[in-house]
Amino acid sequence: VKDVPEKISRVAVSCGTHGNELTGVYLYEKWRRSERALRVSGIEPLVLLANPKAVSLGRRYVDRDLNRCFLTGELRDPERESYEGNRAQVINNALGPKWDPGFDFVIDLHTTTANMGTCLIFNEADKLATRAAVHLQREDSSITCSTYGGTGEFAYLPEVSKSGITIEIGPIPQGVVRAKILSRTEELVHKLLTFLSEYRKGLTTIPSGRLEVYRFDGTIAFVEQRETEGKTFIHPERDGRDYEKLERGDPLLIDLDGEVLAYEEDESSWPIFINEAAYYEKNIAMVLTQKHELSWGE
Ligand SMILES: [Zn+2]
């Protein structure tokens, strides 16, 4: 369990972790011009362009996905050769190191092509992130929360600091800026920083709480083991329906001949990242989650 840091002072905002998610890239440009744009009482966040080469190329990454490069073994590996491997080490040196973090909180900015609205993603064991999410969701019930957790280590960027949250907003195509999503992201960053500032001063306490979360629980591949080897894509009845319950027999994918592939598990699921463009190369059609409630302090 990641305890709440005793004091919260060192906070970073990571932009352009994926070079073709322009919301963060444009916000970086904006915040860079006015150094104090993000300052709140007691906190002056470091604003970071995480993957400058991918940003200049307009691509998600150069060699590999930066947001999967933060495992301890790789961060300690002196022989890393990929561009993102090196960037991960630079970021780990600046914000971490992961095994003894210098930074208290990292906000990582992302967008998705999936119909996910405003989603906060964080480690279930991260108490401060959980409280921040509760606080934001109390003000705005349209925010959803998704978590990862359990045993093992995670390779996401915010894991290098003591605590952190990923802001994921969609739908928006890759390589596109939309004013509404830009201002929505900026609003959430301000709200998070204000929460951290108030929490730090003891003005905001959340002694007990409950939070409904969608916990990562596997993926659905486009090409399952089946007799025909043609391409499949998201079934029209499922496309765009992130967070909606999926039950055995529900149509999931369809192929070019119109053959429907249904969900075959007995256990229900709540898919997210449905039709995320970046996952096509990984053969991932959607991410499965389990919906459950985090509760504490009672
Ligand atoms: Zn991203």
For residue 117, give the nearest of 64, 177, 167 by alpha carbon: 167
Joined tokens for residue 143: 């925010």
Q: 20 vs 49, 113, 144, 152, CA distance in Å?
A: 13, 11, 23, 29
pLDDT given for residue 225 in this prediction: 46
Q: Is the dihedral of CA 52, 34, 131, 244 positive or negative?
A: negative
Q: What is the mean pLDDT of residues 111-137?
A: 96
pLDDT digits (tens, 9 = 90+) for 189-228: 999 999 999 988 888 777 678 899 999 999 999 976 455 5
CA of 205 relative to ligand 1 center, distance in Å: 31
Dist. CA 234–CA 222, nearest whole Å: 8
Residue for token pair 């600046």? 94
- Measured in Å, residue 17 CA sits from the centre of ligand 1 at 7
Distance CA 80, CA 60 (A): 19
What's the average model confidence in pLDDT over 150-162? 95
Query: How far away, in angstroms, is 133 Cα from ligand 1 center?
Result: 19
* DSSP SS3 for 238: coil
Q: Is the peptide bond before 171 cis (omega within 30 degrees of 0)?
A: yes
CB 260 within 8 A of CB 239: no
Instruction: Quick: pLDDT tens for 1-38.
Output: 677 777 888 999 999 999 999 999 999 999 998 878 89
CA distance 184 to 291: 25
* Span 235-291, pLDDT tens digits: 999 999 999 999 999 999 999 899 999 999 999 999 999 999 999 999 999 999 999
- Report the separation in Å between the CA atom of 75 and the middle of ligand 1, taken as the mean of its atom positions: 20
Average pLDDT, the chain: 93
Q: How far is the CA of 126 from the centre of ligand 1 (A)?
A: 20
CA of 151 to the centre of ligand 1 (A): 24
Distance (Å) from CA 166 to ligand 1 centroid: 9
CA of 155 to the centre of ligand 1 (A): 13
Q: How far is the CA of 21 from the centre of ligand 1 (A)?
A: 6
Residue 169 CA, ligand 1 centroid: distance in Å: 9
Q: How far is the CA of 162 from the centre of ligand 1 (A)?
A: 21
Question: Tell me, what DSSP letter sits at residue 45?
Answer: P
Residue holding tokens 């070079």? 19
Ligand 1: centre distance to CA 228 (Å): 32
Ligand 1: distance of its center to the CA of 168 in Å?
A: 7
The enclosing H or E element of 260 equals strand 260-262
pLDDT in tens, 40-78: 988 999 999 999 999 999 999 999 999 999 999 999 998
CA 92–ligand 1 middle distance (angstroms):
18
* Ligand 1 centroid distance, CA of 71 (Å): 18
What pTM, to 2 d.p., does this model score?
0.95
Distance 109 CA to ligand 1 centre (A): 7
